[in-house]
Chain A
Amino acid sequence: MSENGFNRRDFLKTLGWGGTAVALSGCGNTSIEDGAEFVTSYSEPADYVIPSIGVYYNSTCAQCDAGCNITGRVREGRVIKLEGNAASAINHGKTCGLGQAGVQAHYNPDRVTQPKLNGQTVTWEQALAAISEKLAGASGAEVAFLTGGVSGHVRALLDNYLAALGSREHFVYEAVSPAVERAVNTKMYGTAMPRYRIDKARAVVSFGADFLGAWVSPVNFSQQYAKFRKGNRPEGRGVLVQIEPKMTLTGANADRWIAIRPGTEGILALGLINALGAAGVAVPGDAAAAAKDYTTERVSAETGVSADQIGRLATLLKERTPSLVLAGSAAEGYANGSQNAEAIALLNRALGNVGATIETSASTPFPQLAPRVGNRAALTALNDGLAAGKYKVVFTCGTNPVYSAPASLKFADNYAKAGFKVALAQYLDETAQAADLVLPLDSAMEAWATSVPEYMGGEGNYTQLSVTQPLMERLYADTRSTGDILLALLKQRSPDEYSGFEDFYAYLRSALLANKTALGGAGEADDDVFWNVTLSQAIIPLQGVVSKSAPQSAAPALSAPAAADASYPLRLIPSVSASIRDGRHANEPWLQESPDPLTTIVWDSWVEIHPKKAAELGIVEGDIVDVTSKSGTIQTQAYIFPGIHPDAVSMPLGYGHTAMGRYAKGTGANVYSILDAVYDKDTGELALNETSVKISKTDKRVIIVKEEGPAGGSQVNRAKIAVKVSADKVDLSKEV
């Protein structure tokens, strides 16, 4: 029977031969029928294989920059499931959907498996020789390195390599980064990434910070949120108000969701300071001065939030202390984004939250391992250099600028001007496709690395060094970790220093052992014992260094939002999905098939339009519409969505890849390509929300592929399906 064919063969294979065969042949795709498979009996399994028993290894999640600590379940030499590491101060044993899909990044059928030079498969020796040859003709300033956020020993090696090259051209670029937040936090709180204590707050007012979805460290915040919502907490049950033009997952969980006019968040924050002062809250002088002109009437008129609502917000903040006010990308993605964020931070200061719910965090005692974080400004700088033909050799790693740069930058064209482009890539994404040399990377389940998370949970000056270790043998013999590649490149440059390290593992081990005492291993006399403990925990707890700069006073220069351009009347709010993120996870099928929480759409992008606006434009659900900005046009399906400001539309980022494998390619439309090149005045960060668009109907209509049925999120008055109850109607004190 055909149906049994698969089961029998593949089960035998997965149960019996999978792991070992992969390990030995370096290729998991052979089959016993071909006679090409080398079968090892279980009577002599590898050390790490206990037949039919799951073995657990700790490591670090690489799916986003939160750097959650994970535990991989390994069966017969294959990692099959990831769970949170219960000992973690970041995620406390929990994971998000994105983290769960980490195995699909590893087992992805579209991995790059061999080095490719101009499309031809080459050996590592040839690839390294090609790099060496090109570098020989380039000065240090002519070599650029573009990476995503890096930390730990990979960062240290990278710095060493750049130093060896004599290059200072390290650009760290993140397509969606909290760059404005870092800058404003540093200015207003004295620390770039403080600890937000949602769990201590009695009220959280969030200006577009999607902390349950994609903002900074969602799993950590989700757990804080769960505590915050508990009725039997000493502070009592917390109240969440979300103020944003497009409802995020966090907005969907708020007690009150307020659709504010895009870009006026700062005005509302100052208005609240003003209202709080009027209500008798002792507001610091600089804040009161900055807010004095923002009367409730004016704020209400400019933000579209009713005066009554502003009054209730002020009451809430006054009564519930400590509170926490957060600013997220929805408030920051404007030309005056920094000003908005400053105004919001000012509100926190006015409420006395700094120090109470906004705690200074500690940075790692090893500055050379500290995270080097990125922003859009770096990409702009690199782009300028490329346009000027400055670079002979460009390395890219962990980032995909050809896909995620706004079309107005013309990055793809400029990138082509670089003399020799080397992409370190796990998949053949848009950037790797445009590169001359592609070096295949290990997945996070195969590589050695360490990392320091930028946002650190825990208490006091706790910080940690997270260890990434292979959860299984390489799927493909010819992939290498970033560390391995950097080490190989360093060996070309400084053979004397590095030839002693056979691979990155050796380097890492010796680097950690060299700092055994500083890493808390003083008690361990034996290096191997220390090493084994380190690997079994994969977390090295450290006493961090608290360095706090003095907060500066601020008088945010807010401007009233510009009148809408008649030809582009709608504000485009690109949304960051909790699963696809900036687009790097679009090739993981679980995430594509996992419905967007709010629209429940799968396998495609969409544009959210308010029902009133849609009625005005004559658009119904499923209409294919042209979304046109000054920078370009994309086509997508219209979804009528009540959770959006009528003057705004929203599209998810991360879709519309033209490469990156079967699951990502051709799925949806790429919003980056129509973003206008408008930047935050203070930080130079791309103002994501500053693009205005017009929506025009085409004559096509589709049935949207989504989980939601024709009832459209209505419970049709069925008494008890998803029940919501007013807080005063329940007694939460006796709950378990």
Chain B
Amino acid sequence: MSKRHILALYNDFDEAELAVQELRTAQIKGFNVDDDLTVKSPIEHPEVERMIGYKPIRVQWFTLIGALTGGILAFSLIAGSQANFYSQMKGGKPIVPIPPDMVLTYEMFILGGVYITVLGFLICAGLPARRSPLYSAKVSEDQIGILVRSDESAAPALKDIFTRHKALEIQEEAGK
């Protein structure tokens, strides 16, 4: 069954919010509000969460794993190379000196954390991605976009809601 994409643009956030609320309450068949609704905005609105429901963020797990891996890797690399390969005496210091090694462990802890966090971001945010065909440059300027995906059958109802909420512009396109 083919899907249809509709993008409605709103002037400001309040109007968009009303439209979304309507979509959530409307119970349109062939349109799952949790899965098929995307809000596009030029700025970050923390309120969007409230509007479209809480969605889990998993980036922190990447952070934790990255940081721990970085730190452990650093210490084992350093201590390992000091002890196993380059067992070279420095007068007044042990072969594996803990305090100096901690400095690099700390740096690698951060490095791992940052790198893997960013990796996590790209994975979680689905970037890099091709732009969806229904995109308006207005979204990056000052308008709020609501992108919905629905069965063909649900399209008129959705459009109706958008229109009622004074959408500035409605684009639609037959999806796959």
Direct A–B touching, Cβ under 8 Å:
no
Interface residues of A (CB under 8 A from B): none
Give B residues with C-beta under 8 Å from A: none
